[in-house]
Amino acid sequence: MQSEQNYVNVDDYIQNIYTKNRQKYIETGKKPGMKCITYGCQANAHDSEKICGLLSKMGYEVCGHEEDAAIIIYNTCCVRENAENRVFGNLGQIKKLKSENKDLKVILCGCMVQQDAIVEKIKQSYRFVDVIFGTFNLHKLPVLLYTNMETNSQIIDIWQGAKEAEDDLPALREFKFKASVNIMHGCDNFCAYCIVPYVRGRERSRAPESIINEVEALAKDGVVEVTLLGQNVNSYGKGLPGNVSFANLLGRVAKIDGVKRIRFMTSHPKDFSDELIETIKSNDNVCKHVHLPLQSGSTAVLEKMNRKYSKESYLELVSKLREAIPNIAITTDIITGFPGETDIDNEETINLIKKVQYAGAFTFIYSKRTGTPAAAMDCQIDEETIKRRFDKILNTLNPIVYEISKSHVGNTYEVLAEEVSKSDTGLLTGRLDDNSLVHFKGGEAFIGSFVNVKIIDCKTFYLMGKIMEG
């Protein structure tokens, strides 16, 4: 039990800020705007939905531009250096806005600020940031923001691990018809290049009942597509009582009425069970797409990366998946330029790309992250060599992705219409079951529903289609 002294009722702080904002609303006829800028992975995007959920309870309303906002939130990522640089670039620009509008609040949160050196830098050079909190204490935002409002000083609260319930915050969902659900937090894998375990803490699985309840409530609220999130969903259940596995959880989620599509990410190749393959195969509403990060096709590099699988075992898993589910789409992540990587290692990655025939891939240039084992390894690779290898990878991947894309042309698929296309407002954008992106003509009324779309053309990274009757 918490001592009375330490006990803070977050709801009281929400109410206090709501009262202030309500007063402003009465004076101006306008709710104060919030603008949340999110970097990084889907876990971060989902955290942002929770942050916005809290802020909307405090009386803020989503607005389109930083210039119109009363509060700007940067939910940051530090997985690669360029993600951090973008945040610093944005903060530099916001300084001007802040000097023009003394009431503007600037909040910095997420993975980047879990690093001491970054917090020091903010303290020294970005005094105008009002509130800084990390990945373990989103729920404290109302307390921190209110304290800043009262004291007008920079408030910093970073925890080093999870102490309190993380999953009972209300999310302000970006989409009405699709939602993400955390099934676990953190990561225990410690891949040698990766900072995530240091900034997201140890792996913690949520109780299956709590996940099922959340998905049931979402389905009742009109959600038709659910994405189950975890850094390594395949190890779900570790540390929970009873015999719970990801395959078992996925099977249970698939039985929930109203959930038409289930996606999940990310699958670590080292513990992808036969039971999971069977569950994907036997449930029509589990999407036939697996994101299976390879990182490198060289067993020697994989070993140095601490990935715990070999080139051969990865290929064996791919064959098993394809044998069981012939139409499954496999996508991946690849890192070029891990310390000690040779041209021969790069050729091995290229061979593997050819063998697997990926439907898509995120390709990254290795980024040295302070505090990870790889940062201290000998033989960091020079930029020119990395660039040469990286281009070779792309030149191998893109034609393969294009051929797979082309194989859809002429077929008709059920597509979930998701939004108006960002590049052409006359088009809608949706996804096939296998996660391929498709643009097609259609009115906004289709958004959130399933439509039959015939694929009429393709580019490497997307398809063009037209809605069919019926």
Q: Which residues bind ligand SF4 (CB under 6 A)?
A: 187, 189-191, 194, 196-197, 231-232, 268
Shortest distance in whole angstroms from residue 126 CB to ligand SF4: 27
Six-digit token string for 250 = 């996925």
Query: Which span (55-63, 196-204, 330-338, 349-357) binds ligand F3S, by CB under 6 A?
Result: 196-204
Six-digit token string for 454 = 């015939």
- Considering beta carbons, is residue 153 or 160 the nearer one to ligand F3S? 160
Distance CA 19, CA 33 (A): 15
Largest CA-CA distance found in the chain, in angstroms, rounded? 68
Residue 352 in 3-state DSSP?
helix
| β-pair type (178-182, 33-38) | unpaired
* Residue 80 binds which of ligand SAH, ligand F3S, ligand SF4, none (CB < 5-8 A, kind-dependent): ligand SAH
Distance CA 57, CA 441 (A): 37
Contact 86, 74 (CB under 8 A): no
Q: x/- site string to ligand F3S, residues 101 to 130, per CB under 6 A?
A: ----------x-------------------
Shortest distance in whole angstroms from residue 234 CB to ligand SF4: 10
- Considering beta carbons, is residue 166 or 418 the nearer one to ligand SF4? 166
Sequential DSSP letters for 244-307: --HHHHHHHHHTSTT--EEEEE---GGG--HHHHHHHHH-TTB-SEEE---B-S-HHHHHHHT-
Peptide bond between residue 28 and the one before it cis (omega within 30 degrees of 0):
no
Query: Hey, CA dihedral for 49, 69, 74, 267, is it positive or negative?
Result: positive
Among 21, 295, 296, 436, binds ligand SAH (CB under 6 A): 295
Distances (CA, A) of 406 to 263, 385, 435: 23, 32, 15
Of residues 295-314, those binding ligand F3S (CB under 6 A): none
Q: Is 183 in the site for ligand F3S (CB under 6 A)?
A: no
- Considering beta carbons, is residue 56 or 306 the nearer one to ligand SF4? 306
Residue appearing with tokens 């002294």: 5
- Considering beta carbons, is residue 267 or 436 the nearer one to ligand SAH? 267
Among 41, 70, 104, 183, binds ligand F3S (CB under 6 A): 41
Q: Is 78 in the site for ligand F3S (CB under 6 A)?
A: yes
Of residues 219-258, those binding ligand SAH (CB under 6 A): 231-232
Residues lying near ligand SAH in the complex (CB under 6 A) are found at: 41, 79-80, 193-194, 196, 231-232, 266, 268, 293, 295, 333, 335, 364, 366-367, 369
Residues lying near ligand F3S in the complex (CB under 6 A) are found at: 40-41, 43-44, 77-79, 111, 196, 199-200
